[in-house]
């Protein structure tokens, strides 16, 4: 089933008609004949969307919507208010109660299904972001939320500048956000700029019929604007453009000519959703970065490296290709800390990490897996080429003096030469069943590194062949 929908109406015939329409599109339909029953079903069954009639005895739809939005268990369920009244006051009341959309009876089948698809899709994206935020918090990266809310940026795009300026005048005093007016060409030319609008209000018909829908498609296809809120303005009797816009990714639809109170409410709701989405995406991105990155060197950490090595090994086996693993350790690193201090040790680690990263291929991965220990994972490489790469790393590190932080009272900064030892192993390219397990790979690399240390340091040892290079 693509989604579960709760239909709330005190008239059984209306519920049955809606159930038939939605079930034909493979939705799972729940029913409630009163406001009180709707609250119970919503809390118990957690539908993906609620179609809620405004006019009901005892507990009307507006009060039901307010209670749904005030309850943390149901607050994120989108609500479409349904009524026989098409007056402005009814729309405003529904939006102020927290409804995501408003439809008038008799319901247009195409419009109804388009709105249902759009809202369920948006809820799915929000739920995925919330799930990832929960993972981030479980990893220990929770942080307090700032109470500061910056002004939003809203871009108005109409068929001509005079119309867009009239829209802006109609919104004056209703919003505290920055409202800009741009042509379609300016919108696309600025689509990769540093300060992009949070929301766009675009007329479906610009210089040509449905040109606004093409602009919608362009904005949704571009990385920088794909998460922007986009409201498409359509003529009140234009059924098909509204349906097309929702299926193409419009955040909301609003009818022309504007009721500016309604437009302001819809813009505020979309800005809130945009901010929430941006905040969750930023936290997930930053949290995952913190979870897999070593904060000192900027390299990936052990957690990421082991997962990556697993995938490299599996792909090498599947494609009958060879790969290499280097265990890299800084020689006599304890002496650096003891002699020059931990600030100097940190500088050495960062400099060596940079040298390792800069002298491997872009497909190779370097990670810091311990205090002074690194790992390099090289996919799709033959043993001779892997040995040459290891030797290149060793030489680059030992021939580049490292400048240490100047201490208080020190006349000039000191430099030192740092060397590394490398245990190199290769695997893959053989018949099935001959590949080492992940544990065996790491054990072989550790033994090769141990041999390099015992043989005098500042050298590469290949465990599989016993070959060494100084």
Residues annotated as catalytic are 372
Contact 421, 447 (CB under 8 A): no
**Under a CB-based contact definition with an 8 Å cutoff, are residues 303 and 292 in contact?**
yes
131: cis peptide before it, omega within 30°? no
Round to whole Å and give the CA distance between 294 and 155: 40
CA distance linking residue 120 with residue 48, whole number of Å: 6
Report the distance separating Cα 421 and Cα 326, nearest Å: 10
Which residues are CB-neighbours of 6 under 8 A, at least 6 positions away?
Answer: 29, 30, 31, 32, 38, 41, 42, 45, 47, 49, 50, 51
Beta bridge partners of 94: none
- 3-state secondary structure at position 367: strand
**How many residues does this entry show for the chain?**
470
Q: Kindly tell me the burial class for residue 35, based on how many C-beta atoms sit within 10 Å of its own C-beta (0-12, 13-18, 19 or more).
A: buried
Structure tokens at 4: 């579960």
Strands 199-203 and 178-181 turn out to be unpaired
Give the rounded distance of the alpha carbon of 258 from its chain centre: 33
∠ CA 349-353-357, nearest 5°, is 175
What are the tokens at 75? 């607050």
Unique residue bearing structure tokens 């809120």: 229
């Amino acid at each position: 089933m693509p989604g579960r929908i709760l239909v709330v109406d005190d008239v059984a015939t209306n519920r049955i008609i809606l159930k038939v329409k939605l079930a034909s599109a493979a939705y799972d339909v729940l029913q409630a004949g009163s406001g009180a029953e709707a609250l119970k079903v919503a809390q118990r069954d957690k539908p993906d969307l609620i179609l809620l009639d405004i006019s009901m005895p005892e507990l009307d739809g507006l009060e039901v919507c307010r209670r749904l939005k005030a309850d943390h268990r149901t607050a994120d369920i989108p609500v479409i208010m349904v009524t026989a009244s098409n007056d402005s006051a009814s729309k405003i009341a529904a939006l102020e109660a927290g409804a995501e959309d408003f439809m008038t009876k008799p319901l247009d089948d195409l419009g109804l299904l388009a709105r249902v698809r759009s809202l369920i899709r948006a809820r799915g994206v929000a739920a995925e972001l919330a799930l990832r935020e929960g993972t981030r918090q479980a990893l220990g990266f929770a942080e307090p939320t700032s109470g500061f809310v910056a002004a939003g940026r809203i871009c108005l795009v109409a068929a001509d500048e005079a119309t867009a300026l009239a829209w802006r005048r109609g919104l004056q005093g209703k919003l505290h956000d920055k409202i800009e007016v741009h042509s379609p060409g300016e919108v696309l030319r600025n689509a990769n700029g540093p300060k992009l609008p949070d929301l766009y209000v675009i007329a479906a018909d610009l210089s040509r019929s449905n040109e606004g829908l093409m602009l919608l498609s362009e904005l949704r296809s571009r990385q920088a604007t794909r998460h922007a809120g986009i409201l498409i303005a359509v003529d009140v009797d234009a059924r098909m453009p509204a349906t097309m816009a929702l299926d193409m990714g419009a955040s909301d639809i609003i009818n022309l000519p504007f009721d500016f109170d309604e437009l302001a409410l819809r813009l505020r709701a979309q800005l809130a959703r945009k901010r929430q989405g941006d905040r969750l995406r930023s936290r997930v991105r930053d949290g995952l970065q913190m979870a897999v990155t070593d904060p000192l060197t900027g390299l990936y950490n052990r957690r990421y490296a082991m997962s990556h090595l697993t995938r490299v090994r599996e792909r090498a086996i599947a494609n009958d290709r060879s790969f290499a693993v280097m265990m890299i350790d800084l020689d006599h690193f304890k002496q650096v800390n003891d002699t020059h201090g931990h600030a100097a040790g940190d500088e050495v680690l960062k400099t060596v990490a940079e040298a390792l990263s800069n002298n491997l291929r872009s497909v190779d991965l370097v990670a810091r897996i311990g205090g002074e220990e690194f790992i390099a994972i090289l996919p799709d490489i033959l043993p001779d080429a892997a040995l040459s790469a290891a030797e290149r790393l060793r030489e680059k590190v030992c021939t580049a003096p490292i400048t240490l932080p100047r201490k208080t009272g020190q006349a000039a900064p000191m430099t030192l030469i740092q060397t590394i030892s490398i245990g190199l192993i290769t695997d893959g390219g053989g018949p099935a069943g001959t590949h080492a397990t992940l544990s065996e790979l790491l054990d072989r690399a550790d033994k090769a590194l141990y041999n390099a240390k015992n043989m005098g340091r500042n050298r590469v040892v290949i465990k599989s062949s016993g070959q060494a290079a100084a």
